[in-house]
Chain A
């Protein structure tokens, strides 16, 4: 019995020591999109600062929100623009101390002070991208300039699109000339017949990796994230990216700090670190979205900069718009698209 007690006491003491040491060691709990932060960047950060990074991933903004509401303690999260708006309205974010993030000056002003964070107090753009059309120009000879060409009926059964109800609705809104953030009964009623015609023409709905179906020839056209399109273009120049003439969604994936982040100091260090041009280019190399870091862009190769999916012409970029939070309408959108897809 004595033996058991003694070994229990030893075990307890070891446990206390272990917990104590892990408390004192600098840590950072990063909660970010899967496949969006290169491991090399995290390793380098730990190497330079001694701060250990616990990197957890999610596959949708909604998943991240529910975990945070559930009480998980993260120091940095990676919401898209309309989700930042929700989190700010809800008071879920802590303001960023920009004095601790001098590299913030490297960012392109075009992506700052947008409606979701008008005073730029709570978020720092990480990567920026659009949702546009990819055309396999070897298979499709006629020009495809926008949603009207894509869904003309000629390409029925050869299209992959994102599996995201709000994105689907947005394309129909652009087509019918409506503002993408004014979602109500009337605007949705106008979009409905358009989508009813479009949805049966889509062969595959896939948000996770729409490029796969294009690469293996299952389909010849698609509406995909610009980063996916940029990778396709790197693989083969026959995959051309087109920003639809009617307009397209611009997303600003940012880093933000939850209100109750336990390691705010480390979070600021990380923000400043990834805004360093030599670090930011590492992200661009793996995930060829539009890098909002102007200084980092100077270090990119001409090949990277000439990728039209990553860096569209200024002319085309004018047709891009960000999402706002749309509140209850999300449920209405879900119902409408579910109904229309049910027809297939």
Chain B
């Protein structure tokens, strides 16, 4: 998905001509990869979602709508709602924190940019699980954060934040922040200084320049960043399990449970397909609106 987003937002040189024979040849590995690892598994999942589960938890190939009917249960709708809420909050926080960072890096002298970008990428060389465990030891009641704040007399008693929703939010924002910064950086880097100077010369203050020049020009980056953060964070389950103490269930946890403990693959598949459908619909919706406005 990430690839499509970026591709559709940076207008391809020479318009939308269908690729020639050489083009198809070059595309072939990608298409084969997509067919094997995206289309085929999704098709299998789709087929499973209409199956049933037998007494012993094995998949029975008998057609049924039941799995989709079960999703409409308030229990699962509530969790869908919560996942949207957390993912939305994560996206907003990532945007608020990430935009200034991305802009700063983009406007920094060209010689310093690689270093700054490198600093952003270095944490990715460490396993995601290790980084999450590091957060656990930072945030726990006798951890570094709590102890420091206590020493500075900023809080009266140990900070009880781990295994609470706030910890999940911290984990999500931390995990996805770079996915917001990088696309915004890419579009902010392309802004010509002369445009900003022109805006200033014509009497717009810094705020009006931001609102009427910089923000509109970085819109493709913001759009890509929002999708790159929102989409994966809605399905996250590891951060919620580890930093939320298993108490802040999101839709990812429910799906994981169906393929694990509950041994109800068809229902898990139905949840997954519904989830996917929601993404595709919301992507089209956002994308169409973006297109209309730009032309």
Q: Is the CB of B261 within 8 A of A69?
A: no
Contact between chains at B75 and A218 (CB < 8 Å): no
- The verdict on A217 contacting B142 (CB below 8 Å), with A60-B261, A65-B263, A330-B264 known, is yes
Is B273 in contact with chain A by the CB < 8 A criterion? no
Known: A69-B58, A218-B141, A338-B254. A331 touches B264 (CB 8 A): yes
**Is A335 in contact with B140, judged by CB distance below 8 angstroms?**
no
Q: Chain A interface residue count: which class?
A: 20 to 34
Which residues on A sit within 8 Å (CB–CB) of B291?
Answer: none
Interface pair B261/A166, CB less than 8 Å apart: yes
Interface size on B, residues (CB 8 A): 32
Within 8 A of A (CB), among B50-79: 53, 55-58, 73, 75-76, 78-79
A63 to B256, CA, bound (A): 11
Which residue of B has the minimal Cβ distance to A212?
Answer: B136
- Contact status B141-A342, CB under 8 Å: no
Closest to A325 in B: B56
State which residues 231-275 of B face A: CB under 8 Å. 241, 245-249, 254, 257-264, 267
Interface residues of A in 195-225 (CB under 8 A from B): 202-206, 216-218
| Bound form: Cα–Cα A335–B76 in Å | 9
B245 touches A330 (CB 8 A): no
Consensus secondary structure, chain B interface? loop
Contact with A along B67-93 (1 / 0, CB 8 A): 000000101101100100000000000
B230 on the A face (CB < 8 A): no
B141: nearest chain-A partner, CB-CB: A218
Q: Which residues of B contact A62 (CB under 8 A)?
A: 57, 259-261, 263
Known contacts A89-B56, A328-B53; is A342 also within 8 Å of B249 by CB?
yes
Q: Are B245's CB and A204's CB within 8 A?
A: yes
How many whole Å from A86's CB to the nearest CB in chain B?
A: 5
User: Contact between B264 and A334 (Cβ–Cβ < 8 Å)?
Assistant: yes
Extra contacts, 9 of them, besides A63-B260, A334-B258, A342-B78 (Cβ < 8 A), are A62-B261, A90-B58, A165-B261, A205-B245, A216-B142, A334-B257, A338-B254, A338-B257, A341-B247
Binding site for A on B (CB under 8 A): 53, 55-58, 73, 75-76, 78-79, 82, 140-142, 162-163, 241, 245-249, 254, 257-264, 267
27 residue pairs of the A-B complex, CB under 8 angstroms, read A60-B260, A65-B57, A66-B259, A90-B58, A164-B261, A165-B262, A204-B163, A205-B245, A206-B246, A216-B142, A217-B142, A218-B140, A218-B141, A218-B163, A325-B56, A327-B57, A330-B57, A330-B264, A334-B257, A334-B258, A335-B73, A338-B79, A338-B254, A339-B75, A342-B78, A342-B79, A342-B82
Q: Residues of A at under 8 Å CB distance from B?
A: 60, 62-63, 65-66, 69, 86, 89-90, 163-166, 202-206, 216-218, 325, 327-328, 330-331, 333-335, 338-339, 341-342, 344
